[in-house]
Amino acid sequence: MYDSQTSRPRNSLKTIFLIALGALILVGFGFWIATNRQASSQDELDRSNLDKVTEVVRENRNRIEVISLKGKITTVRETSGGVFGIFDGKLIIRQPFSVGYFADMKRMTLSDYIWDEKTKTLFVRLPEITVDRPNIDATRQEVSAKGWVITRDMQQRLRRSVALGAVEQAETEAAKPENMEAARSAARLAITRNLELPLRAAGLSGAHIEVIDPKGSVGERWDVSRSIAEVLSGLANAER
C-alpha cells in the first residue's frame, strides 16, 4: 500500500539536500573564481613590479666613482754619470697622488640582479671594482737632490725613473687589501643610492636594495634564487 504521508517527508528531505548541495557547489565555485581572480591579480601585480624593476636596472648603467684614495709618496732614485761614471747622484721626491675606484654598472646584466617580490628586495651582485691610473701631482713636489755634481743627463734619467717609480708606488698602495675593501664598501652604498631614487620614481617606494658580494658567504643567495634574466626567460617560455 502506498503511504503518501511517509513519502512526502522523504521527498522534502531529498529536495532540501539537493538545494543545500547546489548551494555548496555555487559557494565553492564562487570561492574558486574569487581565489583565481585574486591569484591572477597578484600575478599581474608581481609581473608589473618585475617589469618596473627591470626597466630601472636597464637604464641605470653608470660608471660610478665610489671613492678616491689620496696621499703622498716618497720616491728615491740613484744614478751615476760623468766621465767613467765618476759622479753619483740621488734624487728624493715627495709628491701628492690620488687614485679613483670605480663600479662600472655598464658591465652588469640582468643576471646580476634578483628581485624578491615577497620582501620587495632587489639583490644586486657587486660588480668588480676597477682602479684608475694614479694621478701624480708633479706641481706640488718636494725635491731633494744629493751629489757633488749631477749632470743634465743624470737629472733626466733620475726624473724619468722617479716618474715611473711614483706611479708604481701609487698603484701598489691602491691595490692593498684594506683599500680595496674600503672601495667595495663604498661601492655598496653608491650602488644603493644610484638605484633608490629611480625605484621610488617607478612606484616602488617600499623596495629595499641589498648589494651582495658573490665571493662571500652571502653570495649563496644566488644559489637559491633566480636572477631577473632567468625569471624573464621562464616567463617568455611559458607564454609560448
Q: Tens digits of per-residue pLDDT, 225-240?
A: 788 888 878 776 666 5
8 Å CB contact between 219 and 123: no
Does residue 20 fall inside a structural domain? no
Q: What is the pTM of this model?
A: 0.70
Is the pLDDT score of 46 beyond 70?
no
Q: What are phi and psi of 199, to 5 degrees?
A: -65, -40
Does residue 44 fall inside a structural domain? no
Give the confidence band of 158 by pLDDT, cuts at 50, 70, 90: confident
Does residue 224 fall inside a structural domain? yes
Strand-pairing partners, residue 136, are 97
pLDDT of residue 89: 72
Is the pLDDT score of 9 beyond 70?
no
Give the confidence band of 34 by pLDDT, cuts at 50, 70, 90: very low
Does residue 89 fall inside a structural domain? yes
8 Å CB contact between 152 and 87: no
Is the pLDDT score of 180 beyond 80?
yes
Distances, alpha carbon 40 to alpha carbons 35, 47, 137, 166, 230, in Å = 8, 10, 62, 64, 21
Does residue 34 fall inside a structural domain? no
- How many domains are contained in the chain? 1
Q: Quote the domain boundaries for residue 152.
A: 52-239
pLDDT of residue 172: 94
